[in-house]
């Protein structure tokens, strides 16, 4: 995402909490800052993309004294809607605006600049950020006030949970039936069962390899947000709850750093059936 902004001509000052990943950005013309406060000093637009609520809160607390009045924080992280609303209120007291802008589209979409960006915030703030957002994503959807973007991302992650689990289950069935699954997958991709997960992740599932796209542990964190959001409305979402239990079993088995498509491991002959959630 940052590389796309650099290529589009944005003047970037970058910082990563774990040193190293920003090296390619520096080669593309960005300036590396030694700390997060140094990165935001004097900036009008500040972008965050962090792992969870605690990380976002920690970073914003660290940089708050360095944020310029009138600046705008664009938070691409996936966190709880209530966390976004609290952060926005805290920053407003410093005359700093905030929008939540979680994204969906996978690492492929991030590289290509074709992500879908789900935005919550005041319309004036969204329009101010739009030139930046349109570099990061192909579709920018303003859904309401701060927190609305995170609510939509929770809906997205429920869909991801169901689609990945369904693809994993279908691939496992086809393999057990002895079908030529590469051909089956190609045929189904063009039919009513076609999905992003089937097109982009079924091949890895069939090969039993799960190169990182989006960590299973982070998706489980996102499902917790979705389950909490559903509970607040009185809605029961049993499919999401089942996938969460499947992911818990895989996390316990040490697969948290695998891609979400590692849900296919749950169906493997080697999986410990005792660790599988019941239905």
197-219 pLDDT tens trace:
999 999 999 999 999 889 999 99
Tokens of 182: 């590469």
pLDDT digits (tens, 9 = 90+) for 53-92: 999 999 999 999 999 999 999 999 999 999 999 999 999 9
Segments forming the whole domain that contains residue 18: 2-145
Question: Which residues participate in catalysis according to the annotation?
Answer: 153
SS3 state at 217? helix
Query: pLDDT tens for residues 87-135?
Result: 999 999 999 999 999 999 989 999 999 999 999 999 999 999 999 999 9
Whether residue 161 sits in one domain with residue 62:
no
104/163 same-domain check: no
**Which residue shows structure tokens 């997205």?**
156
Answer yes or no: are the C-beta atoms of 64 and 41 closer than 8 Å: no
Residues 202 and 105 both lie in one domain: no
CA nearest neighbour of 246 among 174, 187, 165: 165
Q: What is the CA radius of gyration of the chain?
A: 20
Average pLDDT estimate for 17-28: 90
Domain end call among 98, 128, 145: 145
- pLDDT tens, 242-268? 999 999 999 999 999 999 999 999 998
CATH number of the domain residue 198 falls in: 1.10.1040.10
Q: Count of residues for the chain?
A: 279
Per-residue model confidence as pLDDT tens digits over 154-202: 999 999 999 999 999 999 999 999 999 999 999 999 999 999 999 999 9
Helix (H) or strand (E) holding 70: none
Q: What angle do CA 98, 157, 73 make, to 5 degrees?
A: 10
Given a contact cutoff of 8 angstroms between Cβ atoms, the answer to whether 193 and 162 are in contact is no
CATH number at 35 reads 3.40.50.720
* Dist CA 105 CA 78 (whole Å): 13
* Count: domains in the chain: 2
- Whether residue 80 contacts residue 232, with contact meaning beta carbons closer than 8 Å, is answered with no
Residues 14 and 90 in one domain: yes
Residues 204 and 84 placed together within one structural domain of the fold: no
Q: Which of 145, 168, 188 represents a domain boundary (last residue)?
A: 145
Residue 141 CA neighbour count, 13 Å, CB half:
15
| Domain boundary residue, one of 129, 145, 161 | 145
> d(Cα 276, Cα 274) in Å, to the nearest integer?
6
Domain identity same for 133 and 195: no
- In contact, 182 and 206? CB cutoff 8 Å: yes
């Amino acid at each position: 995402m940052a590389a796309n902004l650099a290529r589009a001509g944005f003047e970037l000052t970058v910082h990563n909490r774990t040193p190293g990943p920003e090296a390619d950005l520096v080669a593309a013309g960005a300036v590396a800052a030694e700390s997060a406060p140094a990165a935001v000093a004097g900036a009008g637009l500040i972008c965050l993309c962090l792992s969870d609520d605690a990380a976002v809160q920690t970073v914003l607390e660290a940089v708050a004294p360095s944020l310029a009045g009138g600046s705008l924080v664009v938070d691409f992280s996936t966190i709880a809607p209530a966390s976004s609303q609290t952060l926005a209120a805290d920053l407003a007291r410093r005359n700093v605006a905030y929008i939540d802008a979680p994204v969906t589209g996978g690492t492929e979409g991030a590289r290509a600049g074709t992500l879908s960006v789900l935005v919550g915030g005041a319309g004036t703030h969204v329009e101010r950020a739009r030139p930046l957002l349109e570099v990061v994503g192909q579709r920018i959807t303003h859904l309401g006030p701060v927190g609305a973007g995170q609510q939509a991302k929770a809906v997205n992650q429920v869909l991801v949970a169901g689609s990945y689990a369904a693809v994993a289950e279908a691939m496992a069935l086809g393999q057990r039936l002895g079908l030529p699954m590469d051909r089956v997958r190609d045929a189904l991709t063009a039919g009513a069962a076609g999905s992003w997960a089937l097109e982009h992740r079924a091949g890895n599932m069939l090969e039993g390899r799960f190169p990182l796209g989006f960590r299973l542990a982070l998706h489980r964190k996102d499902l917790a947000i979705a389950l909490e959001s559903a509970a607040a409305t009185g809605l029961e979402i049993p499919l999401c709850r089942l996938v969460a239990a499947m992911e818990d079993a895989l996390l316990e088995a040490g697969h948290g750093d695998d891609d979400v498509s590692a849900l296919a491991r749950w169906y493997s002959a080697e999986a410990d059936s005792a660790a599988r959630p019941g239905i």
